[in-house]
Structure 1
Amino acid sequence: MSCRTSIPASALALLLASAAPVLAQEPGPPAAAPALAQPMVEFQADTLSYDENLDVITAEGNVLVSRDSQQLTADKVVYNRKTGTVSAHGNVRAVDGDGVTAVADGFELTESLRDGLVDNVLLILADGSRLAAKDGKRENGLSTLNRAVYSPCAVVDDAGCPREPVWQLKAVKVVHDPARGRVFYTGARLEMFGVPVVALPRLSHPDGFDRNQSGLLSPDVRFTRELGGELRIPYYWSIAPNKDFTATTHVYTNVVPMVEAQYRQLFAGGPIQIGVMGTYAKGAAEDPLTGNIIDTHARLRGAIDARGQIEHGDGWRSSFSSRLTNDDNFLGRYQISLDNRLRSTYALERFETGRYFSVSGWAFQNLTSGANDARMPFALPLVDFRWRLPDKILGGGVMLQANSLGLYRREGQSMVRALASAQWDRSFLTPLGQRVTFTGLVRGDVYNANDTALADDPFYAGRDGWKARLIPLAAIDVEWPFAGPFLGGTQTLSPRLQFVGSTSTANEGIPNEDSRAVDLEDSNLFSLNRFPGYDRWEGGARVTYGVDWRWTKPGIAVQAQVGQSYRLDDNMDLFPEGTGLSGRVSDVVGRASVRIGRYVELTQRLRLDKDNLAVRRNEADVAIGSRRTFLSIGYLRYNRNIALEDLPDHEEVRAGARVAFGKYWAVFGSTVVDLTSTGEDSLTTNDGWQPIRARLGVSYTDECFDFGVTWKRNYIDNPNARQGNTILFTLALRNLG
């Protein structure tokens, strides 16, 4: 909360600082009147008088005192030279340079310009919050308000009629200590909708001038089936303006407590963040004989989550991310993360105009029950260099690339790889409007593989020892767009034809580590190599054809694409069955989308079987509404009959919605349902309808108050995420947390 109680005193200081020197310069006062060294002050008043007997200067009528961005207005300002006091009366209003306004019946200051009194004061802070008090004073640098009320909530409704604030904080006394940067409350109580809710005999918070103040943050309360009730109590320590530390205690009713710590620092080159969490407790594991979840012995269990990015200058940048745990079930059991694989990486990069260089390393930790970490790979180093030559060659641009990888397993296939390539592209328009692109590429690779007999799947295994390959490629791509008016808008029809020719024996004996997730879709139909990564190359000769159609008019955009490829050589077993690319003719892929204004968007992606047009891949997404009220539905089905275990068929539906009602209320929910059956995936235990997770909640949000109740259910039961319900309560008072 940014309650700045020093403003009344600073406003009074403004009055003295403004009035005393300026009035002293008016004709009439004796020359002995002290003048204080202050910035330039502008002073206005309807009348000005001086009583020589009482030694009093009086300014009346629309009195305005201004200095820089500060202003003071009043009906009357009186300066008593004998008592050394300056007072302002009637409609007193002071505005400081931070946009804080003070309104009071009257101000009175001592001649020291630092101490003073104020009656019936109202502070309107820069963010619209209000702090009112019966009276107040400033003495020895401390500002004290008596019988004060604070609230950031609106005090009038939309019609301009007075209303009770949603919540307010009342206190017998409020003290602002600028030296400590905090506001202290004595005898405070919190009221909501005019009803006292909780008494707070002692309360303090940062004053808002320096938001990096140490102290307790807002607690968090939630309920889950496994953990029971949970209370999170975070403490924030502001070490310096560029670094802080947060320690959080997690107290549960069903399990032992957990502690969490996070350190953040902003260097000149960028930020870093290091988080650790841990507990001393029993773990959970799956009994290999019965499959039941059992508790293990108590020990220290925890995890580390660190990340950062540092700019070194001259185009160099480092980035890192590390997630580690000493217990495979810790993150899931304490509902920190449901990930079953953790990744740690470091990368050093350099960016130049037309050039890019990076060297990185990767390591993984498998949290799946029964997994053998010795078979998890780590990559060191992974080097990538790309350079687009500034000058054209034969009218085309040239891209040079080099890449190397060392990938190792303690148990399993390991390899090192190095490659270099040069690609030339030239595009031009024909007199008939066709866009023609010629491409030439040559690439050389060197591999060295070990323990290939221990590969996790023989389909991905290479041959032990050194292996080299040379890959030449030539391609021509022709697009011919036609445009014209249609149904009050503009349509564009663009047929496309591509021919690609390359060596057809490039993959023999090469291990496959980064080209496994292959699947034909609209995004890679016209790629020179439909395999992802580098380890597999799509050789041979093929022709790819398709058409792109677009229609637009104000507020509406429709787009559709469809295409297919035909293999000209006899290399029919290059791709696994079910990927859509096996055989001479590929499956048909397409994509369609409709966008209506900002509120309706529909997207459909399909892959149809080349023989019978059966749907092999179907992705549909519908989004309707605005940020306040919306509905989104997604459907996904892979029906590829693929034999590889790491590319199984899958079917699911996702739905989410939010409905706002009234001015401040909303209900929301989401769900994910697995529709995969044993006919689609022989390894699944689903019957074709298995909810994965669901969420339902209600929220209230106005200008100063947030409240919500959310129910979550997890239907999965494994060591990382046991099924059960979670109830989450959120309560936030603006400026209080």
Structure 2
Amino acid sequence: MKRLVLALALLWTGPLSAQTEQAQAPALLVADSVTVENRSRLIATGNVEALHDGTRLRAERIVYDQATGALRIDGPIRITDPDGTILVADTAELDEDFENGLLRGARLVLDEQLQLASVEARRVDGRYTSLNRVAVTSCQVCGPGQVPLWQIRASRVVHDEVEQQIYFDNAQFRVLDVPLVYFPRLRVPDPTLERARGFLTPSVRSSTLLGFGIKTPYFVPLGRHQDLTFTPYLSPVTRTLETRYRRAFAYGDIEVNTAVSQDTLVSKETRAYLFAQGSFELPRRFTLDFDIETTTDEAYLNDYDYSGKDRLDSAITLSRATPLSFFSAELVHYQTLRDSERDSTQPTIVLHSEYERRFPDLWGGELRLGTVSQGHYRYSDLDTDSTDPDDIVDGRDVARITAEASWRRRWTLTGGVRAGVTTQAWADQFWIAQDATSDEKASQLTPAVAVELRWPWTRSGGDGSHSLIEPILQTAWIGGDRPDIANDESTRVEFDEGNLLALSRFPAADRRERGRVSAAGLRYTHEDPSGWSGGLTFGRLWRENADPSFTPSSGLDEENSDILVAGYLANREGLALTARGLLDETEGSFTKAEARLDWQTMTFGLGASYLLVRADAAEDRGGQTSEWSLDGAYDIDDTWSTAAFGRYDLSGNRFARAGLGVVYENECVSANFTVERRFASSTTLEPSTDFGLTVALKGFSTGGSAKEYRRTCS
């Protein structure tokens, strides 16, 4: 039958505003057949669609009486509003605005997730939908005989579209149609509400330290820009209140996490921690960042699994970066949680600032000017090592200022050889207090010059492959004399690809390399059109005289350094391997080594790390450090996934930490089970085993989205 289209400007009238009446909103009606009786009664039949103000109605038959403004609709009926809410019914009697009326055999679908099926539903003022004898679920039900995994049965449910809330009367929570919990009254946010006051998904935790407990988060929005979350944690061992505060500003944000506990692990003491962080964009491209970390005792963070850090740092930083300059100033406070350290004898308060400016295209090269200011303070008043075993080092306080300038230029010579020259000068001034072994004031002027040659050889194959071989040579001279000051900042030195050609591999100014130092390296890379790529780097240093400030495990303590070996390999199947190490040729073994393997596919991910560092008394490491770390995840199918991790100490022949997680997730529920074992390596930390379980019902705003896992009935 030929379809008819009729514009009905007289069907619907817009609501009145506070002062004026809005213009009438026209409606569009499409049907196979449209007839008009007595010039006031319209009957549309066959594939009927009506559209008004973003709301679409589909039905088999509509009868509209202009005199009464009533609509009689025969189904199946489907009404979709602009927000995506779907109302399905068998028959309906509505007013002309779809705002008031009665629907029989109604089913309300919110945000394509939550289904509310009822015997009848009543629309009130275009805002409320009241349903009687209701079953609510987000689980897919494909047949009349199937039972959803979970559902809420209620005598009456009211959905408030404006407040985006769902109210239940006499509600029963059922799992596989078995009643478990009864609620005389219940209010939950609908899936379209992103921020609603109320309880979030609870979680259960069982710990050998804290016993069996439950966490019940409660979320409090404080406007659109800030919120609070309170999480009581109760078990036979502890009474804990966790809080989280978040606030967003026009040019920044802050987040504060805290917890306060009374437990039987530490009797008659209140235990707590506070972690806060924030970042703000300031005028003229400045950025202000702050980070606060503190706790009442060394074991609290580990006991409650809030953090695995063994040193806490609180800092405030002001920085600015432009294409030609960089500035940073920060104030840091450290709190150690290690058995072997005390805050009184560690550099607890540190003030650091630096500035660098680039001047490109100057004298054919680039000039760089910079300054560094550094100061750190120890609470101890000792001026030398103490006989007290708790005082590991003295109370030395140090301040320094450094000015530096460098100029560098590059040329391309005959045959494609790349040549470069770098000149640099540092001027350092030190002030030392409370150190009987060091001068109170010291200064040094350190000039340096380096000449570098690179000869890159490239080859492109007919199959599209590309290879590069690049030998590198550098010879450098660093002048000046080392002042009589303690090594306070450069106690740990790393030798890798990043500083192979550096003029000093020490991280701070209290130690600089001296004399003539030569470096040689070889770099090889290959890219294959089949999708794999790889590379190798070798490097070594030669110096006039050995420097006793380098520790044995640095690989730099002798005239000839250990051989630096580094490489990587990757392919398009998601496999990536990186490794580096320092090879001691006299012993034929590695002084340091690290490697990381990652394999990522559509269904699983696997990661493995290896670390080796030799024993070194100069770095306060009495034994060798050698460990494996493993982590992985596997998607078993569309609903089941698992993840695991572990860290194994090869030197101690024991696990340091291990864990396993299993997740079940479909369109209506998400369940996460975890187990973790921590093996303590400190007298202040106790070994523990933790079990955790979190179950979230999807379809409500607190349980997560149900759209991504929607199944299709066969």
Which residue in 2 is equivalent to 1:272?
A: 254
Distance in 2 between residues matched to 1:261 and 1:661, nearest whole Å: 36
1:173 equivalent to 2:156? Answer yes
1:139 equivalent to 2:114? Answer no
1:425 equivalent to 2:408? Answer yes
Distance in 2 between residues matched to 1:495 and 1:704, nearest whole Å: 60
Give the partner amino acid of 1:409.
Answer: R
After TM superposition, list the pairs within 5 Å mapping 1:280-429 onto structure 2. 280-281=262-263, 284=266, 297-369=267-339, 371-389=341-359, 391-411=360-380, 412-429=395-412
CA gap of 1:647–1:704, structure 2 versus 1, over 3 A, is: farther
TM-score (norm 2): 0.87
Report the 3-state secondary structure (helix = DSSP H, G, I; strand = E; otherwise coil) of the residue aligned with 1:344: strand
Q: Which deviates the most, 236-245 or 206-215?
A: 206-215
After TM superposition, list the pairs within 5 Å mapping 1:596-635 onto structure 2. 596-626=571-601, 628-635=603-610
Q: Is the 8 A contact 1:282 1:299 kept in 2?
A: no
1:49 equivalent to 2:38? Answer no
CA gap of 1:43–1:84, structure 2 versus 1, over 3 A, is: closer
Q: Which deviates the most, 629-638 or 230-239?
A: 629-638
CA gap of 1:129–1:480, structure 2 versus 1, over 3 A, is: farther
CA gap of 1:167–1:305, structure 2 versus 1, over 3 A, is: same
Number of residues paired by the alignment? 672
Q: Is the 8 A contact 1:696 1:710 kept in 2?
A: yes
Report the 3-state secondary structure (helix = DSSP H, G, I; strand = E; otherwise coil) of the residue aligned with 1:422: strand
Report the 3-state secondary structure (helix = DSSP H, G, I; strand = E; otherwise coil) of the residue aligned with 1:578: helix
After TM superposition, list the pairs within 5 Å mapping 1:500-579 onto structure 2. 500-503=476-479, 505=481, 507-553=482-528, 554-567=530-543, 569-579=544-554
Distance in 1 between residues matched to 2:622 and 2:474, nearest whole Å: 28
- Please state how far the C-alpha of 1:717 moved relative to its aligned partner: 5.7
TM-score (norm 1): 0.85
After TM superposition, list the pairs within 5 Å mapping 1:468-479 onto structure 2. 468-479=443-454
- Please state how far the C-alpha of 1:487 moved relative to its aligned partner: 10
Report the 3-state secondary structure (helix = DSSP H, G, I; strand = E; otherwise coil) of the residue aligned with 1:257: strand
Q: Is the 8 A contact 2:444 2:483 kept in 1?
A: no
* RMSD (Å), alpha carbons: 2.9
CA gap of 1:722–1:19, structure 2 versus 1, over 3 A, is: farther
Distance in 2 between residues matched to 1:617 and 1:24, nearest whole Å: 79
- Please state how far the C-alpha of 1:701 moved relative to its aligned partner: 2.3
Q: Is the 8 A contact 2:149 2:176 kept in 1?
A: yes
Give the partner amino acid of 2:208.
Answer: R
Give the partner amino acid of 2:135.
Answer: V
The superposition leaves residues 344-378 of structure 1 with CA deviations (integer Å, 9 ceiling, x where unpaired) of 10012223342222221000112234743222323
- Please state how far the C-alpha of 1:239 moved relative to its aligned partner: 1.1
CA gap of 1:156–1:622, structure 2 versus 1, over 3 A, is: farther
CA gap of 1:204–1:354, structure 2 versus 1, over 3 A, is: same
Which residue in 2 is equivalent to 1:81?
A: 66
The superposition leaves residues 525-562 of structure 1 with CA deviations (integer Å, 9 ceiling, x where unpaired) of 22232112333212221111111111221221121111
Q: Is the 8 A contact 2:599 2:607 kept in 1?
A: yes
Distance in 1 between residues matched to 2:164 and 2:586, nearest whole Å: 75
Q: Is the 8 A contact 2:12 2:26 kept in 1?
A: no
CA gap of 1:663–1:326, structure 2 versus 1, over 3 A, is: closer
Stretches of structure 1 that go unaligned for 5 or more consecutive residues are 1-17, 26-34, 285-296, 454-460, 677-687
Give the partner amino acid of 1:531.
Answer: F
Q: Is the 8 A contact 1:22 1:43 kept in 2?
A: no
Q: Which deviates the most, 556-565 or 605-614?
A: 605-614
Which residue in 1 is equivalent to 2:635?
A: 660
Report the 3-state secondary structure (helix = DSSP H, G, I; strand = E; otherwise coil) of the residue aligned with 2:344: helix
Distance in 2 between residues matched to 1:518 and 1:598, nearest whole Å: 36
Distance in 2 between residues matched to 1:430 and 1:126, nearest whole Å: 67
Distance in 1 between residues matched to 2:400 and 2:502, nearest whole Å: 23
CA gap of 1:703–1:180, structure 2 versus 1, over 3 A, is: closer
Distance in 2 between residues matched to 1:529 and 1:162, nearest whole Å: 77
Which residue in 2 is equivalent to 1:260?
A: 242
CA gap of 1:24–1:432, structure 2 versus 1, over 3 A, is: closer
Distance in 1 between residues matched to 2:683 and 2:617, nearest whole Å: 29
1:708 equivalent to 2:708? Answer no
Q: Is the 8 A contact 2:80 2:86 kept in 1?
A: yes
Q: Which deviates the most, 352-361 or 480-489?
A: 480-489
Distance in 2 between residues matched to 1:560 and 1:343, nearest whole Å: 37
Which residue in 2 is equivalent to 1:673?
A: 648
The superposition leaves residues 281-327 of structure 1 with CA deviations (integer Å, 9 ceiling, x where unpaired) of 4554xxxxxxxxxxxx5033212111111112221221111111233
Q: Which deviates the most, 201-210 or 692-701?
A: 201-210
Give the partner amino acid of 2:270.
Answer: L
- Please state how far the C-alpha of 1:249 moved relative to its aligned partner: 0.7
Give the partner amino acid of 1:644.
Answer: E
Report the 3-state secondary structure (helix = DSSP H, G, I; strand = E; otherwise coil) of the residue aligned with 1:314: helix
Q: Is the 8 A contact 1:494 1:549 kept in 2?
A: yes
- Please state how far the C-alpha of 1:619 moved relative to its aligned partner: 1.8
The superposition leaves residues 191-239 of structure 1 with CA deviations (integer Å, 9 ceiling, x where unpaired) of 4455555444432211344321101111110101010011111111111
After TM superposition, list the pairs within 5 Å mapping 1:86-125 onto structure 2. 86-110=71-95, 114-125=99-110
Which residue in 1 is equivalent to 2:392?
A: none
CA gap of 1:242–1:23, structure 2 versus 1, over 3 A, is: closer
Q: Is the 8 A contact 1:283 1:329 kept in 2?
A: no
Stretches of structure 2 that go unaligned for 5 or more consecutive residues are 1-5, 14-20, 381-394, 704-714
The superposition leaves residues 177-202 of structure 1 with CA deviations (integer Å, 9 ceiling, x where unpaired) of 34544211223334445555544443
Report the 3-state secondary structure (helix = DSSP H, G, I; strand = E; otherwise coil) of the residue aligned with 1:523: helix
CA gap of 1:662–1:304, structure 2 versus 1, over 3 A, is: closer
- Please state how far the C-alpha of 1:132 moved relative to its aligned partner: 2.8
Give the partner amino acid of 2:294.
Answer: L
Give the partner amino acid of 1:322.
Answer: I
Which residue in 2 is equivalent to 1:287?
A: none
Match of 2:426 among 438, 443, 446: 443
The superposition leaves residues 637-678 of structure 1 with CA deviations (integer Å, 9 ceiling, x where unpaired) of 1136554315863111122333333432234322211122xx
Q: Is the 8 A contact 2:581 2:592 kept in 1?
A: yes
Give the partner amino acid of 1:337.
Answer: S
1:203 equivalent to 2:186? Answer yes
CA gap of 1:401–1:481, structure 2 versus 1, over 3 A, is: same
CA gap of 1:50–1:147, structure 2 versus 1, over 3 A, is: same
Distance in 1 between residues matched to 2:602 and 2:298, nearest whole Å: 38
Distance in 1 between residues matched to 2:67 and 2:353, nearest whole Å: 82
CA gap of 1:664–1:280, structure 2 versus 1, over 3 A, is: closer
Q: Is the 8 A contact 1:332 1:720 kept in 2?
A: no
Give the partner amino acid of 2:670.
Answer: D
Distance in 2 between residues matched to 1:190 and 1:316, nearest whole Å: 54
Distance in 2 between residues matched to 1:599 and 1:24, nearest whole Å: 59
Distance in 2 between residues matched to 1:68 and 1:303, nearest whole Å: 53
1:638 equivalent to 2:606? Answer no
Residue identity (%): 27
Distance in 2 between residues matched to 1:69 and 1:81, nearest whole Å: 22
Q: Is the 8 A contact 1:631 1:657 kept in 2?
A: yes
The superposition leaves residues 495-523 of structure 1 with CA deviations (integer Å, 9 ceiling, x where unpaired) of 11122211152x32244333222132333
Give the partner amino acid of 2:501.
Answer: F
CA gap of 1:365–1:117, structure 2 versus 1, over 3 A, is: same
Give the partner amino acid of 1:234.
Answer: P
Which residue in 2 is equivalent to 1:152?
A: 138
Report the 3-state secondary structure (helix = DSSP H, G, I; strand = E; otherwise coil) of the residue aligned with 1:331: helix
Report the 3-state secondary structure (helix = DSSP H, G, I; strand = E; otherwise coil) of the residue aligned with 2:268: strand
